[in-house]
């Protein structure tokens, strides 16, 4: 590989030449005109459209989606590396406003399509050209059985601003104003959580206790808000006919309640074998008998000072991808041969990393802040996984594609897994191996296990709320019970962490969402376990096919080639076995 001293920059000129490109204004005007024309042609007529005309409408929607994605994609990506450039941020704002205003012309289509009869829908879908859009069309219809009369829907929507959404907004604004003081210094929410990663145990303890103290100080308000959010959701769920509190979330993910129950129960049955065991090891590595609640993610005294040049990183990642699958490698290689990655940290550039593919039918871009640490290499592997996942989905088309949280992270975490495993294989010393394994298992437990403990907390809170309001003391008690059950005897769980649930934003703004993190991680682990055990023939091809279907396929069907059914425990147990296997390795090394 050639030795490039400079980190790559992306080149967005295939979208637009820059913020002053006259094509931007032209396309915004064009989008608005096309959206208005669409409404003029089809509003009020969707139920009368024959297949030919219906298809024409779908094609127009595709054109509009692509154009909108091109505009907003450019404006967004361009400003992420130029946050201090007022022209870049102003363009982004302008594009968003233009698309929102023009987009109101398109809303009727979904609403009207939802009202057409089953017979009419069947007739349309009997045309093979329309049938290609089935994933998109059935997504629009999925909520139909739970819809209420139009005037009720309108009232709910209008009242939402002062009920459900109002409580969420109050929660977010209220929490954002809280401040924490540690050793005389003030911190906000994001800042204080970084103290948990400090090498200094006293600082971690001070942060942990302070967060709990602030939560307790605000318990009355936050507990009140949580009760309101739960009740508001229960009222609406009941009217719509959802059987269980998690059912509406599962429907939007297109996952059965049974699948989620099986996942959650299987993870819970593995608490002892995985989390309890890990924290015992962690306590030993930290040189204490028991670790404190806030020490779960504390760094180990074993240093990792290995650093990577950009070329090292690219080589490490591509090599691991290639060893797994030459086909995946070929897709991945493009990202380095073409100007699709912006890798260097820069003044005015956003922090973190992401993969963004605004246009479904075009390649995505990767944004990184590469500084040569081991984690940066894993992040590259992660974002590249997203990039390849996107490339494999292009053929589904812009309308059929969507974001499905439960599998959106599969390719990325799997890519990270490949690179992690190759780092582990190449580790020179036991110290390095221990550090790698402990880091990985720590992460895996945070995602696969901890999020399920959260899931049980919210499930119990929603169930008990049916009998009446829950006191803060009761919520704290449920929290402590779930934390104790999942963390085990090597972690101190007591009054010093009883009110921390108030900080889990997802409980408030996206109820029953937390399991999705565990779902995705467990899917990756289960697949990776299958790869390791070599039980599935042609694993590579089956895996790549799976990636192309994650957004549009039925989970039972798309996992079938692996011989698994997500409604059965065996599927999930395989992934948990992988964590347990890494723990065995870790125990052997210590």
Residues that bind Zn ion (CB under 5 A): 412
In the complex, what is the shortest distance from the CB of residue 57 to Zn ion, in angstroms, rounded to a whole number? 34
Q: Residue 344 CB, nearest distance to Zn ion (Å)?
A: 20
Nearer to Zn ion, 141 or 363 (CB): 363
Half-sphere exposure of 439 (CA within 13 A, CB side): 22
User: How are beta strands 354-356 and 365-367 bridged, if at all?
Assistant: antiparallel
Tokens standing for residue 339: 């100007």
Q: Give least dist CB 386 to Zn ion, A.
A: 6
Q: What are the beta bridge partners of residue 367? A: 342, 354
Q: 412 or 550, CB closer to Zn ion?
A: 412
Q: Are 518 and 253 in contact (CB under 8 A)?
A: no
Neighbours of 456 (CB within 10 A): 20
The conformation of residue 365, written as its DSSP 8-state character, comes to E
Q: How far is the CB of 308 from Zn ion (least distance, A)?
A: 20
Q: Are 244 and 511 in contact (CB under 8 A)?
A: no
- Least distance to Zn ion, CB of residue 383, Å: 7
Q: CA angle at residue 43 from 41 to 48, to 5 degrees?
A: 85
Using the minimum distance from each CB to Zn ion, give the nearer residue, 416 or 502: 416
Residue nearer to Zn ion on the CB measure, 510 or 560: 510
From first CA to last CA, the distance across the chain in angstroms is 37
Instruction: Name the minimum Å distance from CB 388 to Zn ion.
Output: 12
Measured from the CB of residue 453, what is the shortest distance to Zn ion in angstroms?
22
Cα-only R_g, the chain: 25
What three-state secondary structure class fits 6?
Answer: coil
Counting every residue, how long is the chain?
Answer: 590
Q: How far apart are CA 518 and CA 263, in angstroms?
A: 8
Of 266, 316, 291, 285, nearest in space to 437 by CA: 285
Q: Smallest distance from the beta carbon of 354 to Zn ion, in angstroms?
A: 8
| Nearest distance in Å: CB 15, Zn ion | 23
What is the distance between the alpha carbons of residues 286 and 303, in angstroms, rounded to a whole number? 13
Nearer to Zn ion (CB atom), residue 256 or residue 369: 369
Q: Which letter does DSSP use for residue 197 in this model? A: T
Q: Output the residue with the shortest Cβ distance to Zn ion.
A: 412
Lookup result for tokens 């990636």: 547
Closest distance to Zn ion from the beta carbon of 320 (Å): 17
Residue 100 — φ and ψ, nearest 5°? Answer: -65, -45
Q: What is the DSSP letter of 341?
A: E
> From the CB of residue 537, how many other CB atoms can be counted at a distance below 10 Å?
8
Nearer to Zn ion, 266 or 412 (CB): 412
Q: How far apart are CA 531 and CA 538, in angstroms?
A: 10
Task: Give whichever of 212 and 412 is closer to Zn ion, judged by the CB atom.
Answer: 412
Give the C-alpha separation, 162 to 174, whole Å. Answer: 16
> Which residue's CB is nearer to Zn ion, number 187 or number 414?
414
Minimum separation from the CB atom of position 450 to Zn ion (A): 17
Nearer to Zn ion (CB atom), residue 374 or residue 389: 389
Q: Which is nearer to Zn ion, 61 or 516 (CB)?
A: 516
Tell the smallest beta-carbon distance from residue 382 to Zn ion (Å). Answer: 6
Of 170 and 354, the one with the shorter C-beta distance to Zn ion is 354
Q: Which is nearer to Zn ion, 27 or 521 (CB)?
A: 521
Contacts of 63 (CB under 8 A, 6+ apart): 34
Coil, strand, or helix at residue 20? Answer: coil
- Cα separation, 27 vs 38, whole angstroms: 16
* Residue 353 main-chain phi, psi, to 5 deg: -150, 150
Residue closer to Zn ion, measured from CB, 46 or 381: 381
> How open is the CA angle 35-21-383, to the nearest 5 degrees?
80
Distance of closest approach, residue 547 Cβ to Zn ion, in angstroms:
14
DSSP per-residue string spanning 206-272: HHHHHHHHHHHHTHHHHHHHHHHHHHHHHHHHHHHT-SSTTHHHHHHHT--HHHHHHHHHHHHHTHI
Q: How far is the CB of 385 from Zn ion (least distance, A)?
A: 8
Cα(158)–Cα(387) distance, integer angstroms: 39
227 vs 412, beta carbon nearer Zn ion:
412
Cβ proximity to Zn ion: between 406 and 412 the closer is 412
In the complex, minimum distance from the CB of residue 497 to Zn ion, in angstroms, rounded to a whole number: 28
Buried-exposed string 274-312: b where 16+ CB fall within 10 A, e elsewhere: bbbbbbbbbbebbeeeebbbbbbebbbebeeeeebebee
């Amino acid at each position: 590989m050639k030795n490039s001293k400079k980190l790559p920059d992306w080149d967005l000129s295939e979208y637009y030449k820059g913020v002053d490109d006259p094509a931007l204004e032209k396309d915004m005007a064009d989008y608005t005109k096309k959206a208005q024309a669409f409404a003029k042609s089809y509003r009020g007529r969707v139920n009368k459209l024959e297949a030919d005309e219906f298809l024409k409408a779908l094609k127009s929607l595709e054109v509009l989606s692509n154009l909108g994605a091109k505009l907003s994609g450019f404006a967004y990506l361009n400003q992420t590396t130029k946050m201090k450039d007022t022209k870049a941020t102003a363009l982004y704002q302008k594009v968003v406003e233009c698309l929102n205003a023009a987009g109101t012309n398109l809303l009727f289509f979904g609403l009207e399509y939802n009202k057409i009869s089953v017979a009419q829908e069947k007739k349309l879908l009997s045309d093979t050209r329309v049938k290609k859009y089935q994933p998109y069309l059935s997504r629009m219809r999925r909520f139909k059985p739970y819809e209420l009369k139009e005037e009720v829907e309108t009232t709910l929507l209008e009242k939402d601003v002062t009920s459900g959404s109002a409580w969420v907004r109050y929660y977010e604004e209220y929490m954002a104003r809280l401040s924490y003081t540690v050793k005389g210094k003030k911190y906000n929410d994001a800042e204080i959580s970084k103290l948990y990663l400090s090498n200094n145990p006293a600082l971690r303890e001070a942060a942990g206790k302070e967060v709990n103290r602030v939560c307790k100080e605000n318990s009355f308000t936050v507990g009140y808000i949580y009760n309101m959010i739960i009740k508001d959701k229960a009222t609406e769920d009941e009217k719509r006919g959802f059987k269980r509190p998690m059912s509406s979330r599962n429907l939007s993910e297109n996952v059965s309640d049974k699948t989620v129950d099986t996942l959650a129960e299987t993870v819970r049955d593995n608490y002892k074998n995985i989390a309890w065991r890990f924290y015992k090891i962690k306590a030993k590595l930290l040189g204490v008998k028991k670790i404190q609640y806030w020490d779960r993610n504390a760094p180990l005294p074993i240093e990792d000072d290995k650093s990577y040049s950009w070329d090292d990183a690219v080589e490490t990642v591509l090599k691991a991808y290639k060893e797994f699958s030459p086909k995946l490698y070929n897709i991945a290689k493009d990202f380095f041969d073409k100007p699709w990655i912006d890798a260097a940290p820069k003044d005015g550039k956003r922090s973190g990393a992401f993969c963004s593919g605004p246009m479904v039918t075009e390649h995505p871009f990767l944004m990184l802040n590469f500084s040569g640490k081991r984690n940066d290499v894993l992040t590259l592997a992660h974002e590249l996984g997203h990039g390849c996942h996107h490339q494999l989905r292009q053929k589904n088309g812009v309308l059929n594609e969507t974001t499905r949280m439960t599998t959106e992270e599969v390719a990325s975490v799997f890519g990270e897994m490949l690179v992690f495993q190759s780092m582990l294989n190449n580790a020179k010393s036991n110290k390095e191996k221990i550090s790698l394994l402990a880091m990985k298992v720590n992460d895996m437990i945070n995602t696969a296990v901890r999020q399920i403990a959260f899931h049980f907390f919210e499930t119990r809170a929603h169930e008990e709320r049916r009998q009446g309001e829950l006191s803060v003391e009761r919520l704290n008690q449920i929290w402590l019970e779930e934390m104790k059950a999942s963390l085990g005897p090597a972690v101190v769980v007591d009054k010093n962490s009883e009110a921390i649930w108030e900080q889990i934003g997802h409980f408030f703004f996206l109820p029953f969402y937390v399991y999705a993190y565990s779902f995705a991680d467990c899917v990756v682990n289960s697949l990776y376990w299958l790869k390791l055990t070599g039980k599935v023939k042609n694993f590579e091809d089956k895996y790549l096919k799976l990636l192309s279907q994650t957004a549009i396929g039925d989970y039972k069907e798309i996992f079938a080639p692996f011989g698994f059914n997500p409604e059965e425990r065996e599927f999930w147990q395989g992934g948990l076995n992988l964590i347990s296997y890494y723990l065995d390795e870790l125990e052997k090394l210590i």
